Amino acid sequence: MSFLNSSDELRYRSYYTRSFDHFYAEESVAEHPAVLRAREVAPDIPFEMLRSREEVPAEHRRARTLLAVGGRGNAVGRCPGTRGHICCNYLTVDLYTGCNLGCSYCIMQSYLNFSPITVRIDTQDSVARLGHIARLNAGRLVRAGTGETGDSLWLDPLFNISAEILEGIREYPNLVLELKTKTDFVDHLLGKVDPAQVVFGFSLNPTQFAEVEEPATVPPALRLAAAERSVQAGYRVAFHFDPIVRSAATAEAYAQLCTELGRFPSEQIAWISMGTIRYPKELRDALPDRPYLLDEFVPARDGKYRYLQRDRVELYRAMLKQLRAVTSAPVYLCMESDVVWRRVFGGEPQELPELRRLFEDLEVPSVGEAQ
């Protein structure tokens, strides 16, 4: 097992065996190196090959089932920015659908009641499309991420897909892949992938909140420790305060988390994002009754429910001040309105020299346009 060291082998073998009861793979990818690797890492998960995903037995359509699928074709899109809000100008690569880390605010909770965790094994088309976009935008920074519909690194020590993508995009220096996670599963990549093209992104929330609301994730302190290992190995990291949840208990804890970022050299923090908790109305019923959801939310211009604008601005300003005291890394807002941007930063991202490069307009051709 070349890509894991022996202590990681033990750790991940037991971790994934505890996480899954069944492992299915579609015939078309059953012999794919990524699937073979996964079977080697966790040989105790009962494995079965299927002609197609429809054959997963009804009683196994749940989060404790892992399903590797083929399905070439486009999995690269733009980050789903919303009406009237400024999107973070990001390309998304859909590798994973589902996650059972159990964050109470995540819509995956309702999705998972009837679906296995699905991994799109074949990344060739996605790599080709990323390459095409990178060529079209030569000279501009193209940011892509795999953490839109699942955690980028949660299953990576099993399939090692990120390394494959990174290998595929090596010839496009303006393309950066962010691996966004609530785990500390970075060690299998450190020293093995090119630091110029990868950013390890860690979502951060206060420990007390994470313990209750992100129960199966790796505790924030360990995520920070993984960030430190990444930095020491010469990689850049990113931090995402998202979702920011306010309460009497969390205010102080966020301040402390911001302070902790001071131990990272600014030049090795690629970016930091902030986004207060939000949800579309139709998903409210699917979310459990958690105390933080009983705060005051109002529909913003994109229809998503957020804290009152004035309260969001206050939260962001306070956090920005704490961050500015310890780092000069670029800080941006995730899915916020132009008004909030102006109130917090004094301008929209393209008007701010430190953010202009991250928010440069990208040319993203529609699928099927000549590559």
Q: What is the rounded distance in angstroms from the CA atom of residue 241 to the CA atom of residue 109?
A: 20
Residue 301 contacts by C-beta under 8 Å, 6 or more apart in sequence? 83, 84, 85, 337
- Cβ(52)–Cβ(67) below 8 Å: no
Q: What is the rounded distance in angstroms from the CA atom of residue 281 to the CA atom of residue 87?
A: 20
Q: In this chain, which of 34, 75, 101, 238 binds ligand SF4, going by CB under 6 A?
A: 101
Residues 131-170, mask of contacts with ligand SF4 (x by CB under 6 A): -------------------xx-------------------
In 137-169, alpha helices (H): 156-159, 161-168
Residue list 8-67, contact with ligand SF4 (CB under 6 A): none
4/300 with CB nearer other proteins? 300
Q: What is the dihedral of CA 229, 274, 164, 222, to 10 degrees?
A: 30
Q: Minimum distance from CB of 302 to other proteins (Å)?
A: 10
Q: What angle do CA 347, 83, 214 make, to 5 degrees?
A: 90
Total residues contacting ligand SF4 (rule CB under 6 A)? 10
Residues 282-311, mask of contacts with other proteins (x by CB under 8 A): ---x---x-x--x-x-xxxx------xxxx
Q: What is the rounded distance in angstroms from the CA atom of residue 371 to the CA atom of residue 330?
A: 32
Is 171 a residue that touches other proteins (CB under 8 A)? Answer: no
Is 248 a residue that touches other proteins (CB under 8 A)? Answer: no
Q: Which stretch binds ligand SF4 (CB under 6 A): 42-50, 98-106, 136-144, 285-293?
A: 98-106
Residues 303-342, mask of contacts with ligand SF4 (x by CB under 6 A): ----------------------------------------
Residues 174-213, mask of contacts with ligand SF4 (x by CB under 6 A): --------x-------------------------------
- Cβ(175)–Cβ(169) below 8 Å: yes
In the chain, alpha helices (H): 6-19, 33-41, 108-111, 124-136, 156-159, 161-168, 207-213, 220-232, 248-260, 281-284, 309-324, 338-345, 353-356
Q: In this chain, which of 35, 106, 199, 313 binds ligand SF4, going by CB under 6 A?
A: 106
Q: Minimum distance from CB of 185 to ligand SF4 (Å)?
A: 12
Burial of 233 (0-12, 13-18, 19+ CB in 10 A): middle
Q: What is the rounded distance in angstroms from the CA atom of residue 75 to the CA atom of residue 78?
A: 10
Residues that bind other proteins (CB under 8 A): 285, 289, 291, 294, 296, 298-301, 308-311, 337, 339, 342-343
Residues that bind ligand SF4 (CB under 6 A): 99, 101-103, 106, 108, 150-151, 182, 217
